Every structure is written in structure tokens, then in C-alpha cells.
Amino acid sequence: MGFATNAIHVGQEPDPATGAIVAPIYQTSTYVNEELGKNKGYDYARTNHPNRKALERTMAKLEGGHSAYVFTSGMAGIDAVFRLLRPGDHVVLSEAVYGGVFRLSTQLLVHFGLEFSFVDTSMLEAVRMALRPNTKMLYIETPTNPTMNVTDIAAISKVAGERNITVAVDNTFMSPFLQRPIEHGAHIVVHSMTKYLNGHSDATGGAVVLTRPEDAEKIYFIQRSAGAGLAPMDCFLVSRGIKTLAVRMLQHNANGITVARHLDAHPKVRKVYYPGLPSHPHHEVARRQQKGPGAMLSFDLGSVDAARRFLNHLQLCSLAESLGGVETLVSLPALMTHASMPKEVRERVGITEGLVRLSVGIEDVEDIIADLDQALLYV
């Protein structure tokens, strides 16, 4: 079956009890035992429930994994992935990683004996040089948030395979519609389902997709033990959003390309970071492993004052955290999503105070451009 068909039907079959085309929301905390030691597959909603199990089937199918588990947020899922490691293990991460991952690793997980190195994973030799005898995982964002660097997943996976290192890829920016890391050799894929998968800015959630049964068993143990499984209503909302993922991503992608080209030619914009532009240093890698460049881009306005004037005069586009919704969202990473990252680190990886991140929505693209243009008059 094709992607859109799987997104609509896998894990979203009609309710066998009533024939309802949309399965019910099992808004219950516990399940009655038929007799002692015998139930119908569920006992307590923290450990599992039908809405979660259905969404996990959908995610495993769309990413091409063995199994999947869904969490209360993308960060909860990422935390679970790092819990596969043991004290003394070393992780190599993309240097321009999401600020929440930087905070989790450098301010929390290091206290449990894990070691982290941040490198430009788009540079294969830099990755090789960062590897140590105790390196157990390569954690990659591609494209990176918000600098839009692209890592060659197949090349990284080959290097990892030589040393039996696990490759985990954050696929939030692309969604499985535009990029499927497992096809390029990744072992684990993580998502903030809050973003494109849900697509409507009305639920939070995270997903971890696994290729190896032994990893899946451990992730499930972590999920039910730590109590971070996604609740029924949120599972329902994400499942509903996924049904339109294919058509939404087609429009997101088309709008993203149009807006990126427009901003690239705008005299007030110093530089646009978007893999869909031929001028992007990783354009060919992106073309090879992505179905399209997507709707995430960043552009530099030169200073925080210029960025502030621009952001404060937007009318249609919304100044807000998050991304991937049907509406266009704009943020200033240095003061928002990456504020927890030390200034010297931000500057080293290219997150300047004038760098604006844009999540292009699916509104009429002419209206998006008109709003950006009128706000740029104040720069």
C-alpha cells in the first residue's frame, strides 16, 4: 500500500464492536479482569491502552520499523532512547541540536554517568574523529534545528556499522512522508509528534520507532516503568492528524520552497538556510535522502533588534514556540527554543541573535509572503 493509504488505515481500522469508522477514545484508567490472571490484553492505562497501541502500529508502519512506542512528548521519547545507554557510555550528537536535547544531555544525563560530544555531523570526518572506544550512539538531527544542516544518514550509518554503534535520528522536521531514516541505515527514529504528525497544534506527543526487537523490549519497559506513555485523547488527536499527513506535507513542501526562494531574493534578508535552495551546501545530500526539502527554514536579519522589529510586526504569521502546524509559526531560537544553550555555543554553531526560524504553514502562500514582506519593512 502507498504512504497515504497506510497513514489513513493502518492502526485506524473501523471499530469491530460497532462498525464505527473512527475507533472510540478509551477514556478509562483501568480495565476489568475477566477472572484472576486473565484480561483482554489491557490492565492499566499507564502500561497500555487501545488508542496508544493503534497509534504505535501506525508509526511503525510509516517509518518502516519493527515496532514503535509513543510518549507524552518528543523529549520524553528522546530521554527514553538515552536510557538505553549505561554509565560510562559516550554519545556523539549533532552540534546544532534542539535546545531541549542540549539541556537534557548537558544538565541532566551527565549526572548519571553518560558522556556527550557535539560535532557537525554533516562532516563525516568530524564524526570519525569524535568517536571513542566507549561511543555507543550517534544521535542525529537532520536537518538540524534551526541551522538546517543536513547529515548523510547512509554515510553515518556505514561508519557506525563498522563499530557496532547505534544510530538514532530525529525526523521531526521532515516527517516520514519526506524522509525515512531507517531506509538509510538508522536503527532508531524519534519524533516530536506535536509537530507535523499531529499537525494541528492541539496535542503534544513523542514517538520512538525501533528496528531491533531487543531495543523495543527495553523501550517498552522504560515507557511503562517511568509512566511516560501518551494518554488516550492525545493518541486520538495525533492519529486523526496523521490521516491527512500526506496531503498536508505536499502543501507544506510547496509553500516552503516558494517562501524560501522569495526570502532568498529579499534585500533585507542576509542569508536563508534551506536545503531546497541550490546554494545550500548540503543541497545534493538533501535531494538524495529526502522526498522534498520541507517547510522549515531559517533566515538571518543581522541583529536581535532587526529580528525583534520584524517579529513584532507580523500579523498573519504567529510568533510562537513549536512548528509543524497548519498555521505559519515564527520564532527567534536564540531567545526561545535555544535559550538554554550557552551563548558561546550558540554562536559557534551558527545560532545568531538575528536568526529567525520559520515553520511555513499551509495558508495561501501569497498571504504568507505578503505578511513577511510588510514586517520586513520595519527591519
**Residues involved in catalysis:** 46, 98, 170, 195
Rounded alpha-carbon distances, angstroms, from residue 286 to 84, 293, 303: 29, 7, 29
The sign of the CA dihedral 95, 242, 69, 213 is negative
Question: CB-side exposure of 256: number of CA atoms within 13 Å?
Answer: 29
**Cell 533585507 sits at which residue?**
268
CB–CB of 143/95 below 8 Å?
A: no
Strand ranges across the sheet with 206-210: 67-71, 206-210, 188-192, 166-170, 135-141, 90-94, 115-119
Whole-number Å distance between alpha carbons of 360 and 363: 9
Whole-number Å distance between alpha carbons of 316 and 370: 9
Burial of 345 from C-beta contacts in 10 A (0-12 / 13-18 / 19+)? middle
DSSP assignment of 51-78, as one string? HHHHHHHHHHHHHT-SEEEEESSHHHHH
For the chain, the first-to-last Cα distance in angstroms comes to 49
**Cell 554519545 sits at which residue?**
91
Strand ranges across the sheet with 318-319: 271-273, 296-300, 355-359, 329-331, 318-319
- Can you tell me whether residue 339 is helix, strand or coil? coil
